[in-house]
Chains A and B, each alone.
Chain A
Amino acid sequence: MRGIDKRFGAAAANRAVDFTVARGSIHGLVGENGAGKSTLMSILYGFHAADSGTIAVNGRDAVIGSPADAIRLGIGMVHQHFMLVEAFTVVENVMLGMATGFLTAKAERGVRARLAELAEAYGLAIDPDARIADLSVGELQRVEIVKALVKGAEILILDEPTAVLTPQEADRLFVLLRRLAGEGRSIILVTHKLKEIMAVTDHVSVMRRGEMVATLATGATSPRELAELMVGRSVLLDPDRNARPPGATVLTVEGLSLVDARGHLRLDDASFEVRAGEIVGVAGVSGNGQSELLDILAGLRQPTGGRILLDGVPIRPGDDPVALRERGLRHVPEDRLRRGLVAAFDAADSAVLGCTPEPAFGPGPFLDRAAEIADCEARMASFDIRPRAPTLGTALFSGGNQQKLVLAREMERAPRLLLVGQPTRGVDVGAIAFIHARLVALRDAGAAVLLVSSELDEILALSDRILVMCGGRIVGERRAGETDETELGLMMAGLHGRAA
């Protein structure tokens, strides 16, 4: 790809980008959110047309106007959000879009045969008649890879493939990618996890603000160098940790259970406590009960069993959320745009959500707009939120700055207990370091913090104690420093009993 330019409205997503991948190699593509990696890949896959620039495949100039062209040229893509039809079976999904005859019966036989071959050759076994809705995320990813291989992909793009995998699943994926590259295919791995880049790629390209800033041989670089290239300045990757003994118990959870409307057990007899001055991390592959736990503790969902004590006083279903906030319970939800902010509000309005009963914002039902803006300005200064524009629409801030806005709102009100979900999802490396430091500072100031994250690195870097969830149960507890990624990964997969 040479000289690729792409603008969306006024924003330049790609500026004069050159990108070359050698046959038979694994090429990493890193950059912060919004650096233009996804745009570049969607141009290569024909999803968007570049404003200017050329693409050559196997040395020959190629015009890629649609995904159909890309597929014809042997380009396959595994999207971060899987492109599968949930109501269909595996076979139907693989067949979709293949140029076969009018009737599906013959195509189906062909696809079944290919699936069996691939299962044999690469250990990619999937039940061809299983419904997508019934498969695990690891299996879904296998379906996506198989889909691309059946269509004859010689260049395989994977967008954040490990975001939903356990470390062991990720390792298996990397073995497979190595094998595919060894057979002469080219693999493009888009990720923000520098460790994966170091472990598996041959070359790595770094993007920043729409431009390609470097392409390096992986062996000749380091995570620190890559991080600095991504951010454009030096970053502190690990926050300091000083393990002070924790104080009094703030949160006690006893036998908490949740059976959902369909009768599935989503949370199974969870008991634990969080004490003042400690960060308790909850690790797990997404969808194993962490979100439900967070929802219940925040009062957004009713448990079907068990009880919760805050400072020794029970939290009952139906407790007034304002009263809970006054007792020091603060919540940073996992999905900032759906639950933490109102995208259509300006920043000042978003920054006072749930805090308007405070007398500072005006008497009774009235809202003092000037006080609101002044409050927002103060938050923006202390959390370095850019741009410093309280009247700018919330949706116009970057993901990292939106997240900081929510964190500032909840953390600067001296919580007793902070519930925080996925604090750095979709947040750039520079902001991650800042957010981590603030969470640690809050802990050091004596707050209890319950951290739910699907990023194992984040859990390991911040937590004093780690709870691991699998299938709605807390399957284990470890002290930080007495465990590692491998052990936690096995526990997350529910395999610890067998492995130990």
Chain B
Amino acid sequence: MSGWLALLAALDSAVRLATPLIFACLAGLWSERAGIVDIGLEGKMLAAAFAAAAIVAIVPNPWLGLLAGIGASMAFALVHGFATITWNGNQIVSGMALNFLAAGLTAVLGNAWFGQGGRTPQLAGAARFGEVTLPLAEAAEAVPFAGGFYAEVISGHSLLVYSAFLLVPLTAFLMFRTRWGLRLRASGENPAAVETAGLSVARLRYSAVLVAGILCGFGGAYLSIAQSAGFVPDMTAGKGYIALAALVFAKWRPWPALGACLLFGFLDAMALRLQGASLPGIGAIPVQAIQALPYILTVILLAGFIGRAVPPKASGTPYVKDRS
């Protein structure tokens, strides 16, 4: 029974750790399906995390913090769009530049405004998104297995966690059942066909990039005002890149993306738990080795276990009209 409880606890923290990955991964999905590679997920989340925590430190309202996070992330997204869609810039370079900008800007501004070495002040409970206990959770705990799963793993998260999970079917629906989604996917596959069908590739790609901005805003705000109680420099810690790996792993499809993010979240949770554990014959496992596990697994999975991952055909290439 204690093994079961330990598993439930690990799954519970897997859900928490997967949430920012889900936001970022879906953001990447929107952007890349429309043909804009977004390596700046990391930077957008970091900017959003900082903006959210900074606003909430002044006005203790998590909803305002979320809006600020989304605003900051969308501003970054617009810069990316301007560089890559309007001026046909290199999408990788623009994304990396935004990552560096976010890392530097948040630390400098944080230090200037709050004087705590780049951190924002610790947030009180009311300033954060609290945990929501779902109906019947306590009663369900009595039911073996399913009840415990419901109470421990499903119930007791912040609203942002539930919205991340709801965004998966919403993304799938918008992307594959609507005219907008069809056009977005077409501009990621063959923008020239979109243009000749009488549509504006630029407008479609901007809309996708902005959706990515909104989603990264959610992800960043979750990090600083739901999962933690304040902003810490570099608090995204590579989650934007892991989300990109999950996107490739999921072959740019929403439901597999959810699965990939949950898997990576679970690995992260296991890493936390296995710290200090010792294996027979080896002895104590170095903390670093455990922490590296998700990354190592990502490399192995990407290298050989998912088959050919074919990205949207035109992603990464600016659309330039032919001169003929």
A residues neighboring B (CB under 8 Å): 8, 38-39, 42, 45-48, 66-71, 77, 79, 83-88, 92-93, 95-97, 100-105, 107
Contact = CB atoms under 8 A, between A and B. Distances in A.
B161 to A, nearest CB: 29
Interface string B186-213: 1001101111111110000000000000
B182 interface: yes
Contacts of B178: 102-104
A327 to B, nearest CB: 39
Given A67-B196, A77-B196, A97-B198, A86 B179 contact: no
B64 to A, nearest CB: 31
Contacts of B321: 47-48
10 contacts: A66-B198, A66-B200, A67-B196, A69-B198, A71-B197, A83-B197, A84-B193, A96-B199, A100-B179, A101-B179
Contacts of B180: 102
Contacts of B119: none
A97 B189 contact: no
A107 B312 CA distance: 24
B102 to A, nearest CB: 33
A77 B324 CA distance: 15
A8 B323 contact: yes
A79 B196 contact: yes
B196 A86 contact: no
Contact of A67 (B185, B189, B198): B198
B177 A47 contact: no
A107 B179 contact: yes
Q: Which of A68, A85, A101, A104 has the most C-beta atoms of chain B within 10 angstroms of its own C-beta?
A: A85
Contacts of B313: 86-87
Given A71-B197, A103-B179, 5 more contacts: A83-B193, A85-B190, A97-B194, A102-B179, A103-B178
B177 A96 contact: no
Contacts of B44: none
Most chain A C-beta atoms within 10 Å of own C-beta, residue among B181, B186, B192, B193: B193
Main secondary structure of the interface of B (DSSP, over half): helix
A45 B189 CA distance: 22
Contact of A96 (B182, B200, B312, B323): B182
Contacts of A87: 185, 189, 312-313
A316 B192 CA distance: 43
Contacts of A104: 177-179, 181-182
- Top-3 shortest CB links A-B: A97-B197, A68-B198, A83-B193
B22 to A, nearest CB: 24
A95 B194 CA distance: 11
B183 interface: yes
A67 B312 CA distance: 24
B70 to A, nearest CB: 24
Contacts of A102: 178-180
Nearest to B195: A67
Contacts of B177: 103-105
A88 B198 contact: no
Nearest to A42: B324
B233 to A, nearest CB: 41
A365 to B, nearest CB: 34
A96 B195 contact: no
Interface centre among B181, B190, B312, B324 (most CB of A within 10 A): B324
B179 to A, nearest CB: 6
A45 B194 CA distance: 14
Contacts of B197: 67, 71, 83, 96-97
Given A67-B197, A103-B178, A97 B183 contact: yes
B189 A96 contact: no
A314 to B, nearest CB: 36
